[in-house]
């Protein structure tokens, strides 16, 4: 079945970077965009950015510009999201989600908890 | 502060109908018919239940329906069931580099 499998939980110090992976199965990675959405503890959802795995084009929300980098390895059907200059308020569950369009997310990964202690 | 405004909580009894509202602006909800709704149970990933204001993905119950008027979108759940107890988030396409904005979420409790 169609699924997105994400990497495991991470703990990082303030100022460090973290890379989260998202492996697609059950469909062809390059056929759909991958989006990244995060959720701080007890809070709502926040859209971070998108990537087109077919050509590597990507875009990010204004809040994350300059701090987020999205890459892919199509040979292993995997997309990566790297967030740099981490702060304690970056502590959140990070989800990857398949984009049917720029605004419809139909398949989600289970999420990756990134913890940045204060 | 979220870009789209949702009530923090709503509740209803089994069998009732409830409506969750999502208010944006003329730059997002009011400008495009690109509103989606997601259901999230505790500890789980969100699930798409409505897209493009009123369309249901395959496999989603007909008890879920969506609509929009001006800058406000609405999700209606009819015939409320215990399994509907969850958080519900709206989202909308918006122009600019931040392509998608979410609401703060509404916690739906089945009494």
- Which residues have a Cβ under 8 Å from the Cβ of B61 and sit 6 or more positions away? none
Find chain A residues with C-beta within 8 A of B2's C-beta.
44
Task: Express as a percent the part of chain A with pLDDT over 70.
Answer: 100
Q: Say what the pLDDT of residue B96 is.
A: 82
Nearest to A94 by CA among A31, A49, A30: A49
Nearest to A103 among B46, B91, B96 (CB): B91
For tokens 């259901």, the residue is B39
Calpha distance A81→A85 (Å, rounded)? 14
Nearest to B100 among A44, A47, A108 (CB): A47
Task: Express as a percent the part of chain A with pLDDT over 90.
Answer: 99
Kindly state whether A8 is in contact with chain B, defined as any CB-CB distance less than 8 angstroms: no
Reported as a single tens digit per residue, the pLDDT across B15-66 is 999 999 999 999 999 999 999 999 999 999 999 999 999 999 999 999 999 9
Find chain A residues with C-beta within 8 A of B89's C-beta.
44-45
Find out whether A34 and A96 touch, Cβ atoms under 8 Å.
Answer: yes
Of residues A106 and B3, more confidently modeled: A106
> Is B100 in contact with A109 (Cβ distance < 8 A)?
no
Reported as a single tens digit per residue, the pLDDT across B94-111 is 988 899 999 999 999 999
Q: Say what the pLDDT of residue B1 is.
A: 56
Q: Which residue of A has its CA nearest to B106?
A: A44
Mean pLDDT to the nearest integer, A13-19: 98
- Which residues have a Cβ under 8 Å from the Cβ of A38 and sit 6 or more positions away? A45, A46, A48, A92, A93, A94, A95
Q: Say what the pLDDT of residue A116 is.
A: 98
- Which residues have a Cβ under 8 Å from the Cβ of A41 and sit 6 or more positions away? A91, A92
Reported as a single tens digit per residue, the pLDDT across A52-88 is 999 999 999 999 999 999 999 999 999 999 999 999 9
DSSP state at residue B29 = T
Other C-beta atoms within 10 Å of A87: how many? 12
Question: Residue length, chain B?
Answer: 111
Nearest to B98 among A45, A61, A97 (CB): A61
Mean pLDDT to the nearest integer, B78-106: 95
Is it the case that residue B86 has pLDDT exceeding 60?
A: yes
Find out whether A7 and A78 touch, Cβ atoms under 8 Å.
Answer: no
Nearest to A6 by CA among B45, B15, B20: B45
Other C-beta atoms within 10 Å of B78: how many? 15
DSSP state at residue B27 = T
Mutate which of B58, B99, B103, B107 to test chain A, going by most A C-beta atoms within 10 A? Answer: B99
Nearest to A47 among B45, B102, B104 (CB): B102
Kindly state whether A104 is in contact with chain B, defined as any CB-CB distance less than 8 angstroms: yes
Nearest to B4 by CA among B31, B28, B20: B28
> Is B57 in contact with A106 (Cβ distance < 8 A)?
yes
HSE, side-chain direction, 13 A CA sphere, residue A91: 12
Kindly state whether A47 is in contact with chain B, defined as any CB-CB distance less than 8 angstroms: yes
């Amino acid at each position: 079945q169609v699924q997105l499998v994400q990497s495991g939980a991470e703990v990082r110090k303030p100022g460090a970077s973290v890379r989260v992976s998202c492996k697609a199965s059950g469909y062809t990675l390059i056929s759909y965009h991958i989006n990244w959405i995060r959720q701080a503890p007890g809070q709502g959802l926040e859209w971070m950015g998108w990537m087109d795995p077919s050509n590597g084009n990507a875009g990010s929300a204004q809040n994350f510009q300059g701090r987020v980098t999205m890459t892919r390895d199509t040979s292993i059907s995997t997309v990566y999201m790297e967030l740099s200059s981490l702060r304690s308020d970056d502590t959140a569950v990070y989800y990857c989600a398949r984009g049917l369009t720029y605004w419809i997310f139909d398949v989600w990964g289970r999420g990756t908890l990134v913890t940045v202690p204060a | 502060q979220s870009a789209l405004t949702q009530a923090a909580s709503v509740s209803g009894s089994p069998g009732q109908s409830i409506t969750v509202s999502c208010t944006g602006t003329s730059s997002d909800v009011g400008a495009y018919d690109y509103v989606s709704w997601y259901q999230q149970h505790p500890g789980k990933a969100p699930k798409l239940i409505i897209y493009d204001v009123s369309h249901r993905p395959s496999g989603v119950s007909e008890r879920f329906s969506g609509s929009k008027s001006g800058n406000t979108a609405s999700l209606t759940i009819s015939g409320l069931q215990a399994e509907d107890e969850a958080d519900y988030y709206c989202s909308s396409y918006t122009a600019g580099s931040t392509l998608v904005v979410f609401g703060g979420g509404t916690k739906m409790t089945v009494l």
